[in-house]
Structure 1
Amino acid sequence: MILLKNGRKVNENNELINIDLLIQDGIIVEMSECIENSEAYVYDLAGKLVSPGLIDVHVHLREPGYERKETIETGTKAAARGGYTTIAAMANTIPVPDSIEHVSYIEALLEKNAQVRVFPYAAITIGERGEEIVDVEALSKRGILGFSDDGRGIQEAGVMYQAMKRAKAVNKPIVAHCEDDSLLFGGYLHEGEYAKANGHRGILSVSESAQIARDIMLAQATGVHYHICHISTKESVELVRFAKEQGIHVTAEVSPHHLILCDMDIVDDDTNFKMNPPLRSDADRMACVEGLLDGTIDVIATDHAPHHEDEKAWGIETAPFGIVGLETAFPLMYTTFVKTGQMTLKQLIDCMSTKAATIFDLPYGKLEMGAAADLTIIDLDKEMEIDSSKFLSKGKNTPFNGYHVAGWPVMTVVGGKIVYKDEQMN
């Protein structure tokens, strides 16, 4: 039994109010302004924020197949340090989770090594090749969050339509990386001012928005829950806004780096600024911020994508896409948007926890009696420089190294078990 004393939570009016929580058998059994219990182990939170556990619906754990980049153990330790209690693991592994056998293998690895709750995605197509659809009906009976070929867009409209129909029939979402390969033309950075000034081949914004437009119409035709990964362009935001106005079941996520950085922030072709989708124009960044604030974009997801430092040393043209994000997402968002008054603390928590649980129908993201004791304790006053050398993730590939930010998670609780604790916590 654990008693968390002298915490604070955010109420519906974005006010910080005092809160004590008593946890027993993985459940919040009592929650009030003052609780006394002589049998419980007491942690004095000294006014720190108690948030429902953070949820990230877009993470690359790399294992199985790419353990040099990350493992389930290191990735979920990084998640715990970042305050995440639930994450969803993308399907671009070896083997790809495209069959009962492969999903079962990955579930066994997660059961053995995961430090937080992990829901795997199953692939949409066999081998993520965009051709033959997986056994949607059989895989839906496993503990998957949904179906995704993340890293690759589904190129054939007919394949996506059939996948959506089958996913709708089993009440599972299609989670889509949106990219029309025929519009890439060998690009590796955004087709914008930085690429033009430095002689780089650009990735057109329409390579993302064209596929989103197609898929929105397919989602309308099938009724499926269609979730868009890492949205990055102003046109894409407008399409999602239109879809929601039409009552189409579309949700979307955005990553912290697309809210904070634009292509002109790239420094000296540093490959830690290379991700897919790429950093877009500042107008795109501002459209994503506006979309998040007005509810067009539902959630913040890190797209945590660790790579080995040797790979990121290949140069801007050939280095792999992707950056890490689990350990820095909350303080970056809090410092950039809450401390500057652009976003309320409640809005941030909703976008990083509660909404994800709601749209994916998860029984988490709740701070209430009887709920699972999945909690994130955050020291809003703790200021610290981001130091990638101290990451628990194997990946150190971040463009935010050296940023001075506040609002660091200091304790993470999953099902009543403390999975991460900063040295400052007794």
Structure 2
Amino acid sequence: MAAYSDAKRQEFLRLRREGVSRREAAGRLGIEAHQALDWDKGIRVFSKGRIYPDRRIVLYRPAERLANVKNPRTAWVQGGRVALARVEQVIDSRYLSLLERERLKDLQSLGLSIRRIATMMGRSPSTISRELRRNTVSRHGYLPHNAHRTSAKRRERPRASKLAAKGPLHDYVEAKLAKRWSPEQISHRLRRDFPHDETMRVSGETIYQAIYVHLHGELKREFARSLRRGRSARKSQRDPHARASRFVDPMTPLTERPAEVESRAVPGHWEGDLIVGAGSRSAVATVVERSTRYVVLGYLPVERTAEAVRDSLIAAFSGLPSSLRRTLTWDQGAEMSEHSSVAMVTNMKVYFYDPASPWQRGTNENTNGLLRQYLPRRSDLRIRSLEELTAIADELNGRPRKSLNWDTPAERIAALLNTT
């Protein structure tokens, strides 16, 4: 099936090079319009997301959710299976990437020599030759995705732990852990107690892995409770002062937002946030235009995931002209991890406030305070229908505002729409 799809893609690209329109090429080959658009842009789709020509990977599901999957999906490769996370891992630029392997396949299909291919890809001829020799494992010839998985599988190089088998070293470590010695103390004491026996050596990290990773049962899990902190799972080691990124795509900070936004002279700049209901189980997306104070509410009937917020914002902005869709500024909540999709569909630049800085979105904070008259705290917001939220927004937009010289937001936005 993969070979059949790849052949279709090659035929589609050939037709496009000959000047055939995308719609006509898609019709001839019987493929969907969205797939033809992806092929035109050089986008590759895989089970968990999309790979763009600039090597940017966009996941359909946030990374933290993928990490919690009990049985992560694997890809079949010659000789067994390999985890998809390992397949997608970018090690170093000196290794061939999936995009390069796809290009290698395309160039090979043109009948070019290895040296010509290497020159065009900026690689050594020996690299290309070795790639074709080692990773052509299919009877259909060189297949880039299969070659990439094969390469990832070969990187594993599994090796048995020193503590995997019973013996003097294993018994010594177990005895000292039972006495509540730390792995570091055990590692250094081994050198003192067995100065001439090189087999009695193990690092503290190996002991920790034997306890916590527990792939082969090298050491009893109960020894974790004998360690200083007594944790049942190992704590990840990272800079405690570094703030973990919530987004796959890089975010644009508030400092890069155009200066015209601050003056409120140019319409089309929006501030957004969520109003959260009882127990953080429900929410409503709120966006307000800075110059007119016009409010739009995003409907979130089931959940407040990034995908739900993305769809809600796209629907909220879909009825506005492009002149009123310039920028959107949001806080750094995980619900906006799909900000790239929002920006792409709405054609708006998305910026992010500094963490724990609500004063940077004063217009939205003030609006949320007014909305609490209708959506009180500790209430279930899921019972609110789209019609109810629209009525609330209309009523709020119909109030005269002192900041607007007693005009209403609805009047200001209507004047702008009439002008455009």
| TM-score normalised by the chain length of structure 2 | 0.23
The higher-RCO structure (CA 8 Å, 6+ apart) is: 1
| TM-score normalised by the chain length of structure 1 | 0.22
Structure number, greater radius of gyration: 2
Whichever structure has more helix as a proportion of its residues is: 2
